[in-house]
Amino acid sequence: MHERMVEARCLEERLIRMQRGGDGYFWIGGPGEEAFNVALGLLAKKGQGLDHDYLHLHYRSSATLLAMGADPVDALRQMKSVATDPYSGGRNFCGHYSKREWNVAPITSPIEVQYATAIGTAIAQKRAGGEGITIVQGGDAGTAEGDFASCLVWASRPGFELPMLIIVTNNGWGISTPGHEQHGEQRIADRGKAFGMRTATIDGNDAESAYRGLEEAMRYVRRERKPFLLEAYVSRLYGHSSSSGSNYVETEFDCVTEIEKKLVARHLRTSDECDSLRAEYEQFLLEAAKTVSLEPKPEPASVWEHVFTDRDIVGEGARKVPHDNRLWKAPACSFPTTKASKSGSAS
């Protein structure tokens, strides 16, 4: 866990430097959440399809992707907006991951919509059975959105409870608004009790507590096929985003520093080994960023790719439904799929 946490921190700090140096338009990420997010990535049942876990994450989840095995250079590519970015082809800003092979649903910029979309994969997994579960994660401020309330309602319907691990990473802030000015409840996790679901609040800054808390919650959801609302207290070490300056906040708890203190105290690693590990990742990502800066930008003509479908996916997957024959003979797709077609030369 320590090595992945250091890798994730070095990646976020490199992304911040790239944005400040003009190699990116905007930065937002999760430095301060490494202990929790690395544990989540290590424990997720990775793969594609209903038998594996579906992950509906948010833009502070880079450490989770790295723990699952993602290449950190691909995150640099998304920051630089180059065509080799495997997540969006250089068309989205950093932290917006998407990996179909691992059931990682596209991360969105509008906050907390993942709580609503996660209901769909959870219903599919409820019907399919097996051990695969749906994991959805968002921030504390976003729990004010209606999507979060919808998630609690749909996850807990009597007799049709969903195998969902609902995570709230609570950093105490909603952009520039302190959480204590907005939350009348003592713990966000307590909201789950009104829906009859099991809940817990853990210290997400402590790697051991985070791992054990996640492991227990995931075991419950897999075995019982019922929802679990888990709240994890975490830090926000570089502010909300580049819009708030992205400067290190010395008053916040630093999970990487703390785990290194424990490793040294338990004689599992020395301070020099910890420093060397960080230096190796910093140098690797520095060199990688230089290489990425030379990679091509997406061609202007590709701007319409992945916006509209280029085939009749409704018709391909249609089943004859007695009350709705439109699904049986769906018309060919007429959405514009290229820039030329949008101007009227094709349909």
- Tell me: the pLDDT tens digits for 207-247? 999 999 999 999 999 999 999 999 999 999 999 999 999 99
All residue ranges of the chain with pLDDT < 70 are 314, 316-347
Q: What are phi and psi of 135, to 5 degrees?
A: -115, 125
Q: How confident is the model at residue 318, as a pLDDT?
A: 54
The pLDDT score that the predictor gives to residue 325 is 43
- Give the CA dihedral 20, 23, 28, 32, nearest 10 degrees: -70
Amino acid letter at 180? Answer: H
- SS3 category, 138: strand
Q: What is the pLDDT of residue 340?
A: 47
All residues at 6 or more sequence positions from 93 whose CB lies less than 8 Å from its CB, including other chains: 24, 25, 26, 27, 28, 78, 79, 81
Q: What is the pTM of this model?
A: 0.89
